[in-house]
Structure 1
Amino acid sequence: MRKVYRLQAIGGSYYIALPKEWLKRFGLGKGSHVEVVIEDDGTLRIKPIEIQEEVQEELSKIEVEVQDRETLFSLLITLYLRGYDIISLRFKGSAIASAIRDAVNRAKNILLGFEIVDEDSSSIVLQVLSSSDTEIHTLIKNMYRISRSMYLDSIVALIERDAEKAYSVEARDQDLNRLYFYITRVIRKKVVSGIVEPKELLKLVDLRMVVKAIEEIGDDAKKVAKIVQEVILNDIEIDINNAEKLKMYVDELDEIYRNIVNKIEKVVPLPELLESLYTCEKIRSGLHNFRKDLIEKDPKALTLLSEAIYSYEDIATHVYDIISLISSSI
């Protein structure tokens, strides 16, 4: 909201009154500290340094009267992602209570730090117990490690015909999703806080896209793991030479992925980024041509292997997207 204020002069200094609604929003008063920044365009920006804990707590609570148990699961995910720390569910009747608890348990399985802290016959109180100041870059690197282990283990499981390893890849996808939802929540809380600087806001948007790409890498690795399970279950023969060739491409892609994720927090020279983009696209193109050649040779027998190659093509695309989001300098 735009308002015009008149400058006041006291002695040799000039003063301006701050909007009461702004002070109330952040719990500021006499003695509170604020940061004053003069932007290049002459804009004067005032940012609260300290926000009262009781104000934060009030903003992060919500109470819900449960009317439709069918949509409760998706509602819990939405409230979690919007940054609510405490969610109180109110309901009537024992008939609906069981369905509500089922939805709550499903949400707990995929949402990091989401726990029941109070419960009775007509209410359940959920709270996100994880710290709100968790370092985003640390969480992203955790996601990266899980996604990387998934696509590497999937190709090894294919070569070694290791069903147990393939099943473990599928199980890891849930851990990856939990981190994805949590990082999305942390980023959204920062964005809506109203105290994030414009440059940091842009970086947060980029990081949100990075974690989505990493989550999709996990999804594609899971697809490969399912293909491996089908190959083993149905005793389908895969030419070991083709599998080894696929692993060669995966190893090349892995080198790019490892290198770029370690630079997410840094500003990378533009020529280096362009070289990474070129190499990544070259790998993706190589996978595409490899798959195309196999299909032309024997369309029926190579269906599953070609599907696995296609998933790694998609992984290469996601890695390319991550590279394009890294900050660069000319």
Structure 2
Amino acid sequence: MTIYTRILQQIGSSILISLPNDWIKKNSLGKGNNLTVETNIDNTVSIYNDYQEEEIKIEFEYGQEDSNQQSQNDIIEQVEIKDKVIKILLNKIFGAYLLGYNRINIHSKNQISFEDSETIKKATRKLIGLEIVDENSYNIHLQFLIDAKTLNIEKILSMMNSIITGMFKETIRSLSEGFGRDLKKKIDSRDDEIDRQYFLLVRVIRTAIMNKKLASNLNLSNIDMLDYRIAANYLENAGDLIAELVSYLSELREKKQIADLIRKTGYSLEEMQHYSIEAFTSTSRDKAFKVNENYEEFKELISELKKHITSDKEIVINDKYSIAMINSISCLDKIAKCWIDITDLAKPTYMLK
């Protein structure tokens, strides 16, 4: 970042400053071009180039050597190298998506195999809005087709929260209603959807950080973007923990007393989640205090669960039960801390009022 100092000049009744010549050249501006000038809530001024190209492109080179006439060991080594290369390519695609690139081009000197093409397509389905717009044997062209100005970060966060609410309710209630064969698959599938929404939210935030005009259109300050990024990360972590919790609870469903206590603990967590998100999105002091009250209740219930680890003889002598109990308590505790951490994001806001 280059800093320029300018002296205010007055011509008639207008106060003028000159713009840096390097910036003018970089943006290909000249006499007669329009600029947008915006006053910000922090008493600063932003100047936008209306002619700036919004499409950001990047290209990745991808290719594999011909493996004909190679020994068995060479072929095995080649397969391992190929797997590593395509993983690196996928990481680059995900990185470019999160950094806000609108067009991602993949070029290969050799023909892209059907298997590699399908691997790329399957991976990019996790990235909302990124679609293949052109493809041939040597190239794959991906484009982000959603207008970022139409996206609403609060709605994306709300969608993530709604999916997690359903996941957790179904997981806890399965202790009494019985575990369906496909419950774990359903929860894992919803966790994947949370990841997709999380990637989209991160992309929008990073794009807005680099494009102040977009940030203005989304009505987001820098601190807003930071808070939403952190809150979304806690939600994504909670989704992962719920997907992990399902496996442990399936081992404890036969222990009625413990199952009842876990359900009671789960109900307390449901309230914490509800009030934590409301406290964050509406910066409500009352909702934040409600989360803290629920957390005290939650800690008491967790303490009761911990007592069963040493007092229940069947759990003490049965590794399956004891491991499931310890892991379940750990997951529940981590989920609770996610809601506490989201609530903490609201505290600086309402304390300043």
Query: Smaller-chain TM-score range?
Result: 0.7 to 0.9
Q: Which residue of 2 aligns with 1:328?
A: 350
Contact 1:116 1:127 in 2 (8 A): yes
Q: Which residue of 2 aligns with 1:64?
A: 60
Contact 1:220 1:315 in 2 (8 A): yes
Q: Deviations over 1:284-324 (max 9, x none)?
A: 42343133212112333343234223211111010101111
Question: Structure 1 36/26 Cα, relative in aligned 2: closer, same or farther at 3 Å?
Answer: farther
SS in 2 for 1:211: helix
Q: Deviations over 1:78-137 (max 9, x none)?
A: 11111111101111112x444541441232232112211100111000112233120000
Cα offset, 1:240, TM superposition = 1.7
Q: Which residue of 2 aligns with 1:30?
A: 33
Answering whether residue 161 of structure 2 is matched by residue 144 of structure 1, we say yes
**Amino acid in structure 1 at the alignment position of 2:267:** D
Summarize the alignment of residues 291-310 of structure 1 with structure 2, pairs less than 5 Å apart. Answer: 291-297=305-311, 298-299=315-316, 300=318, 301-310=321-330
Q: Which residue of 1 aligns with 2:200?
A: 182
**Amino acid in structure 2 at the alignment position of 1:14:** I
SS in 2 for 1:110: coil
SS in 2 for 1:34: strand
Contact 2:295 2:336 in 1 (8 A): yes
Summarize the alignment of residues 263-274 of structure 1 with structure 2, pairs less than 5 Å apart. Answer: 263-269=279-285, 272=286
Question: Structure 1 23/207 Cα, relative in aligned 2: closer, same or farther at 3 Å?
Answer: farther
SS in 2 for 1:14: strand
Give the Cα–Cα distance (whole angstroms) in 2 for the partners of residues 4 and 81 of structure 1: 34
Give the Cα–Cα distance (whole angstroms) in 2 for the partners of residues 2 and 237 of structure 1: 64
**Amino acid in structure 2 at the alignment position of 1:63:** E
Q: Which residue of 2 aligns with 1:5?
A: 6
Q: Structure 2: any 5+ residue segments left out of the alignment?
A: 64-84
Give the Cα–Cα distance (whole angstroms) in 2 for the partners of residues 246 and 74 of structure 1: 39
Give the Cα–Cα distance (whole angstroms) in 1 for the partners of residues 101 and 41 of structure 2: 33
Give the Cα–Cα distance (whole angstroms) in 2 for the partners of residues 242 and 286 of structure 1: 14
Q: Which residue of 1 aligns with 2:187?
A: 169
Give the Cα–Cα distance (whole angstroms) in 1 for the partners of residues 175 and 184 of structure 2: 8
Cα offset, 1:13, TM superposition = 3.0
Moved more, 286-295 or 98-107: 98-107
Please provide the CA RMSD for this pair.
2.6
Contact 2:165 2:270 in 1 (8 A): yes
Q: Which residue of 1 aligns with 2:15?
A: 14
Moved more, 9-18 or 315-324: 9-18
TM-score, length-scaled by structure 2: 0.80
Contact 2:268 2:298 in 1 (8 A): no
TM-score, length-scaled by structure 1: 0.85
Give the Cα–Cα distance (whole angstroms) in 2 for the partners of residues 37 and 171 of structure 1: 42
Moved more, 247-256 or 99-108: 99-108
Q: Deviations over 1:197-217 (max 9, x none)?
A: 797101110110100100111
Answering whether residue 105 of structure 2 is matched by residue 105 of structure 1, we say no
How many aligned positions are there? 315
Cα offset, 1:32, TM superposition = 3.0
Question: Structure 1 267/276 Cα, relative in aligned 2: closer, same or farther at 3 Å?
Answer: same
Question: Structure 1 12/171 Cα, relative in aligned 2: closer, same or farther at 3 Å?
Answer: closer
Question: Structure 1 4/319 Cα, relative in aligned 2: closer, same or farther at 3 Å?
Answer: same
Q: Which residue of 2 aligns with 1:315?
A: 335
Give the Cα–Cα distance (whole angstroms) in 2 for the partners of residues 166 and 158 of structure 1: 13
Answering whether residue 203 of structure 2 is matched by residue 203 of structure 1, we say no
Give the Cα–Cα distance (whole angstroms) in 2 for the partners of residues 168 and 282 of structure 1: 31
Question: Structure 1 166/70 Cα, relative in aligned 2: closer, same or farther at 3 Å?
Answer: closer
Q: Structure 1: any 5+ residue segments left out of the alignment?
A: none
SS in 1 for 2:131: strand
**Amino acid in structure 2 at the alignment position of 1:91:** S
Q: Deviations over 1:144-177 (max 9, x none)?
A: 0111111111111232222233431122111111
Question: Structure 1 125/153 Cα, relative in aligned 2: closer, same or farther at 3 Å?
Answer: same
Q: 1:255 aligns with which of 271, 274, 286?
A: 271
Question: Structure 1 20/220 Cα, relative in aligned 2: closer, same or farther at 3 Å?
Answer: same
Question: Structure 1 273/24 Cα, relative in aligned 2: closer, same or farther at 3 Å?
Answer: farther
